[in-house]
């Protein structure tokens, strides 16, 4: 809609422009004037739809402008602005056809209310509501054409009036777009803007509505979406609309295949948690929640019931495996879903619960592994002088021999044999320094099979023979220092 502003006080014009985002409402300010004569000339030249006029202006009053417009049969909606002293005059001027009158200084809510009357939104003025159009052969459609319902995802700071005005403006814009391109029509369906497309083909509908949504968002700087389907079911699906992948969500019941896939995904997610496969869980959860919108038939309560069931099944799976769960309380799980304001918030809340089970499982496994590793290390420390083998240690921690080999290397950073030899060599150092035991005696004392094996391992780690180390450590030169291996003696 095109609009002019006229007031002999420029500050009033500037103030009105700052009160409301006219562009967002679909209103274009095409002229600004400071006297009545200029304003009248502007009306004749520009043919605006709306005029906000000061009732008392030089050259020509606002009432004179309105009377002239009526004589000329101009379709112009007029809102008067007046000072307190002109209040009675302004109120009386409504009889000449003014839509509303506002007192200076103009208040935002009163201006919105006046604009709302100008838009003639059904339900706010006594005017018959336009019926939802039936598609016909025009444009290649049929009576089976799809119906799409406009949904605006508000930012949260809009008043009810601002919302009504913006939606009505969007509806007008969409109707013009559809008719110009022979794609369909727009109308008001109850309290909701609706579009009837001349086609029922899902792919074509999606293409048309996606383009329309992009145009509306560019013009109004507001995110919107379309729900396509039966009018009776649309209200239920509004909760899910904002989180849809595209601006178009088709409302339809689940098929038998959908249900089977839904149940399969639930089981696979449980398996992914146990397997600690986060990447797979994320992928499966996204597929599951897409189907959940359909399976729950747009009902928020059903959606969080299924998600609660998923958590309860996970709790049971942990219990059956003898793993500590999170003691999920069904009542609290339901309350969590009930408290979610958006579908996105609900999806995130229950996924976080599932991820929590995975994290707990990881901590449990890590804790068990740490205990087993410490147990193995302690056993080596206490029995290094015995004939220790992988099988002996695997039996100590109740593991398969081959699994224990990789498990030990992962935790120790080296294989079992090398670690055992380092522990034995560390104990041999004290015997070389403090005793006169022969090499074969130390070998036997520390678990090496013979003196040769002991000496070979000692030289490989410390780059000198056991006797060379003994002489160096007892000579006083470097006594107590680490062997000359370029590093430190191995820790036990």
* pLDDT tens by residue, 108-118: 878 888 888 88
Question: Are 71 and 29 in contact, with CB atoms under 8 Å apart?
Answer: no
pLDDT of residue 129: 42
Render pLDDT for 77-98 as a digit per residue (tens, 0 to 9): 999 888 766 666 666 667 678 8
CA dihedral 452, 454, 459, 462 (to 10 degrees): -170
Query: Residue 408 half-sphere exposure, CB side, CA atoms within 13 Å?
Result: 25
Among residues 442, 342, 439, the alpha carbon closest in space to that of 385 is found at: 442
Q: Are 12 and 34 in contact (CB under 8 A)?
A: no
Query: pTM score, two decimals?
Result: 0.47
| Residue ranges for the chain with pLDDT beneath 70 | 84-93, 95, 120-144, 156, 188-191, 231-236, 242-246, 253-254, 321-322, 364-369, 476-492
Tokens representing 1? 């809609």
CA–CA separation, 149 and 174 (whole Å): 12
């Amino acid at each position: 809609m095109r609009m002019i502003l006229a007031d002999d006080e420029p500050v009033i014009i500037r103030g009105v422009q700052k009160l409301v985002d006219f562009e967002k409402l679909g209103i274009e300010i095409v002229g600004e004037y400071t006297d009545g004569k200029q304003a009248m000339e502007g009306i004749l030249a520009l043919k605006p739809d709306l005029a906000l006029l000061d009732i008392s202006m030089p050259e020509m009053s606002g009432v004179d402008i309105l009377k002239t417009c009526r004589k000329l049969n101009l379709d112009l909606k007029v809102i008067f602005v007046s000072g307190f002293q002109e209040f009675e005059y302004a109120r009386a001027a409504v009889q000449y056809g003014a839509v509303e009158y506002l007192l200076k200084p103009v208040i935002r809510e009163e201006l919105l209310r006046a604009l709302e009357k100008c838009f003639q939104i059904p339900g706010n003025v006594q005017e018959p509501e336009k019926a939802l159009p039936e598609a016909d052969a025009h444009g290649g459609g049929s009576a089976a054409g799809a119906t799409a319902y406009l949904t605006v995802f508000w930012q949260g700071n809009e008043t009810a009036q601002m919302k009504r005005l913006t939606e009505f403006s969007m509806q007008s814009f969409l109707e013009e777009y559809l008719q110009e391109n022979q794609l369909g029509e727009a109308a008001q369906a109850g309290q909701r803007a609706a579009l009837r497309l001349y086609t029922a083909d899902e792919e074509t509908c999606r293409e048309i509505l996606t383009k329309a949504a992009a145009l509306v968002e560019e013009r109004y700087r507001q995110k919107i979406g379309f729900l396509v389907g039966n009018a009776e079911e649309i209200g239920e699906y509004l909760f899910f609309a904002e989180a849809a992948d595209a601006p178009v969500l088709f409302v339809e019941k689940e098929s038998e295949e959908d249900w089977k896939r839904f149940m399969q995904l639930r089981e696979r997610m449980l398996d992914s948690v146990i397997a600690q496969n986060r990447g797979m869980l994320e992928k499966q959860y996204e597929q599951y929640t897409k189907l959940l919108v359909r399976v729950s038939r747009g009902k928020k309560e059903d959606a969080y019931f299924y998600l609660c069931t998923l958590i309860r099944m996970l709790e049971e799976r942990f219990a059956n495996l003898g793993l500590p769960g999170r003691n999920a309380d069904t009542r609290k799980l339901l309350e969590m879903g009930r408290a979610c304001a958006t579908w996105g918030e609900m999806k995130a809340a229950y996924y976080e619960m599932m991820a929590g089970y995975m994290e707990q499982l990881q901590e449990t496994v890590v804790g068990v592994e740490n205990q087993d590793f410490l147990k193995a290390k302690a056993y080596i420390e206490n029995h290094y002088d015995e004939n220790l083998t992988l099988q002996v240690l695997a039996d100590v921690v109740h593991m398969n021999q081959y699994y224990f080999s990789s498990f030990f290397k992962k935790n120790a950073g080296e294989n079992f044999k090398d670690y055992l030899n380092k522990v034995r060599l560390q104990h041999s150092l004290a015997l070389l320094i403090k005793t006169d035991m022969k090499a074969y005696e130390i070998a036997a004392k520390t678990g090496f099979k013979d003196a040769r094996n002991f000496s070979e391992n000692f030289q490989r780690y410390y780059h000198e023979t056991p006797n060379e180390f003994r002489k160096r450590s007892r000579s006083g030169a470097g006594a107590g220092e680490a062997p000359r291996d370029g590093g430190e003696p191995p820790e036990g």
